[in-house]
Amino acid sequence: MDIALAVIAFFLSLVGVLGCIVPILPGILLNYIALVCLYFTSYAEVDTTSLVIWLVVVLLVSLADYVLPAYMTRKFGGSKAGAWGATIGVFAGLFLFPPFGIILGPFFGAVLGEMSRTKSDSSQALKSGFGSFLAFIVGTGIKLIVAFWMTGVVVAACWSPVKEWVVGLF
């Protein structure tokens, strides 16, 4: 059973890293589930405290991923309309135009929100849209850092059992 959990954890970690880039997959959540799988093995050094800490990290990063577009839109001079547009764009892009909608949705949402407020200032609308796009890049970077870190923990814990399983196949 330990080897099966190790293989599942290893696979979930790899898919989790991919999920930080592909919007349809819940990236760091899959990495967290991999750590939970390791928790139930007899050899892994993942304890309850580590799981709680990683859960808090996953929740904070996931929250930041949804909040950052509106925040960065405001930081780049956008109004509340631009921030709301970016927030709506995140969800609309995710569901209406996957996978590229999660990238372009906040940008166009912020631009449209700003344009609805001030119809003549297209440069400010583009600036706030750029802030939203920058938030996507920053959020993806943070998710990738956390995903690679958790994958490192999983690989370090799974290396021996996975190696034994592969050698056992041949």
The pLDDT of residue 150 is 92
3-state SS track over the chain: CHHHHHHHHHHHHHHHHHHCCCCCCCHHHHHHHHHHHHHCCCCCCCCHHHHHHHHHHHHHHHHHHHHHHHHHHHHCCCCHHHHHHHHHHHHHHHHHCCCCHHHHHHHHHHHHHHHHHCCCCHHHHHHHHHHHHHHHHHHHHHHHHHHHHHHHHHHHHHHHHHHHHHHHHC
**Cβ count within 10 A of residue 104:** 16
pLDDT digits (tens, 9 = 90+) for 109-165: 888 887 887 766 777 778 877 777 787 788 888 999 999 999 988 888 777 666 676
The pLDDT of residue 114 is 79
Answer whether residue 167 shows pLDDT above 80.
no
pLDDT digits (tens, 9 = 90+) for 63-113: 888 788 777 777 887 777 777 877 788 778 877 877 677 778 877 888 888
The pLDDT of residue 166 is 67
Gap between the Cα atoms of 31 and 29, Å rounded: 5
